[in-house]
Amino acid sequence: MVGIERKGNCLCGEVKINATAPDNTVGACHCSKCRKWGGGPFLSIDCGSDVKFDGDENISVFNSSEWAERGFCKNCGTHLFYRLKSNGQHIMPLGLFEDDGNFVFDHQIFIDEKPVCYSFANETLMMTGAEVFEKYLSPE
């Protein structure tokens, strides 16, 4: 895949990440599972399936739904990925990667589950949960 090479690591440094993101866009997920997982909206970048981990013996994977699983570092607890089971697509926390100044916050998903206590000032594409499932998880 042609894209932007990204390097990152977990908080303790035991898991190192090499990923190729197709672009520099950042999204926010407001679903109840992501908010429970991280304590707030999940700010992430799509790294597709071209992701390599050094220290993968330190990764634990939680089967969070029929269609996805979530990975984290066994040592420090850092969230590493939300991965679709069907195609191995990795949606990864923005904070894992160094901010090169080129990230663009351009979309929000599960906007219908967003609590009223916060909102982002950026104008973005906004999709409900139903729209997300229809676009990304519907059988073709």
Instruction: List, for residues 1-14, the tens digit of each pLDDT value.
Output: 468 899 999 999 99
Taking the C-alpha atoms of residue 126 and residue 84, their distance in angstroms, rounded to an integer, is 21
Structure tokens at 124: 């973005």
Confidence of residue 139 (pLDDT cuts 50, 70, 90): low
Per-residue pLDDT at 98: 85
Per-residue pLDDT averaged across 72-77, rounded?
98
Cβ-contact 92, 1 below 8 angstroms: no
Let me know: does 20 contact 4? Beta carbons within 8 Å.
Answer: yes
Q: Is residue 140 very low, low, confident or very high in pLDDT (cuts 50, 70, 90)?
A: low
Q: Which residue has the tokens 């799509």?
A: 46
Could you give the dihedral angle defined by the CA atoms of residues 21, 17, 42 and 89, in that order, rounded to the nearest 10 degrees?
A: 50
Burial 4-42 (b: 16+ CB within 10 A, else e): eebebbbeeebbbbebbbeeebbbbbbbebbbebbeebb
pLDDT, one tens digit per residue, over 19-70 is 998 899 999 999 999 999 999 999 999 999 999 999 999 999 999 999 899 9
Q: What is the pTM of this model?
A: 0.90
Residues 6+ positions from 133 with CB-CB distance below 8 Å: none
Mean pLDDT of the chain: 93
Instruction: Please return the burial class of 108, using the count of CB atoms within 10 Å of its CB with bins 0-12, 13-18 and 19+.
Output: buried
The architecture (CATH level 2) of 4-137 comes to Beta Complex (2.170)
Check residue 133 and give its pLDDT. Answer: 87
Q: How confident is the model at residue 100 (pLDDT cuts 50, 70, 90)?
A: confident
pLDDT digits (tens, 9 = 90+) for 15-29: 999 999 889 999 999
pLDDT value of position 101: 81
